[in-house]
Amino acid sequence: MDTSKPAIFVNGALLPMHVRKRVRTVIQVVGADRGAVVGKSPDDLQLVVKGSPPSAPLTNFVEVIGIADSEKSIQAEIWTNFGDAFDTYNYNQLCQLANGEYQHLFL
């Protein structure tokens, strides 16, 4: 695991707290819009992910890691296909854990 460049787990609601920081989230791909991917965050907010997606077709769920460049968009560096089934509830809980009382446990 690459710990040199930690990325904060975020959901849609937490993203605004981490603008200009390196974040990671999982989105459910909804569509593409002018070179960016539009997706749904684990807490059902709409996010825009910029950057160049990998050549392989994106699956339903995709993890993206990159810099939050606004309250609703991420400039993604790493794209990872997470398949077509993913428990967003759990991921949302994880994001809250990572930004709450036990923040110090996360990178």
Partner 1 sequence: MNLTEGAISKITSGGATSAELKPTLQVTDLKQVQTKQPQQSDRFRLVLSDGSHLQQAMLGTQINHLVKDGNLRIGSIVQLNQYTCTTVQGRMIIIILELALVAEDCELIGNPVSAQRSSGPSPSPVAQPGNVNASPKSFGTNSVTGGVVGNQNMSAAPVQSPEINQFHNTPPSSNYGPGRFAPTNAPPLYPKVEATAGSVPSSGLYVNQNAGYLNPRPEISQPHMGSYSRPPQSAYQQPPPMYSNRGPVARNEAPPRIIPITALNPYQGRWTIKARVTAKGELRHYNNTRGDGKVFSFDLLDSDGGEIRVTCFNQVADQFYHQIEAGRVYLISKGNLKPAQKNFNHLRHDLEIFLESTSTIQPCFEDDNTIPKQQFHFRPISDVEDMENNSVVDVIGVVTSIAPTTSLMRKNGTETQKRTLQLKDMSGRSVELTLWGNFCNAEGQRLQHICDSGGFPVLAVKSGRISEFSGKAVGTISTSQLFIEPDSPEANRLKEWFDRDGRNTPSLSISRETSTLGRSDVMKTISQIKDERLGTSEKPDWITVPATVIYVKSDNFCYTACPIMSGERPCNKKVTNNGDGKWRCEKCDQSVDECDYRYILQFQIQDHTGISWVTAFQECGEEIMGISAKDLHYLKHEQQDDEGFSKVLRQVLFSRYVFKLKVKEETFSDEQRVKSTVVKSEKVNYSSQSRLLLDMMEKFKSGNDTSFACKAESSYHNPGVNNAVIGNFGSRQAGPPGSNPVGSTSYTGNVGLPANQLGQYGNQQNPMFPMQSSSGAYRSCNSCGATSHSSANCPSMVNAPGQSMGGSYANRTSQGGTGECYKCHQVGHWARDCPGLSSSGKMGGISKQHVGGF
In terms of Cβ atoms closer than 10 Å to its own Cβ (0-12, 13-18, 19+), residue 51 is middle
Interface residues toward partner 1, by CB under 8 A? 87, 89-90, 93-94, 97, 101-102, 104-105
Cα–Cα distance, 50 to 71 (Å, whole number): 13
Least distance to partner 1 from the beta carbon of 87, Å?
Answer: 4
Q: Residue 57 or residue 83: which is nearer to partner 1 going by CB?
A: 83
**Toward partner 1, which CB reaches closer, 42 or 66?**
42
Q: What's the half-sphere exposure (Cβ side, CA atoms, 13 Å) at 53?
A: 21
In the complex with partner 1, the residue whose CB is nearer, 14 or 36, is 14
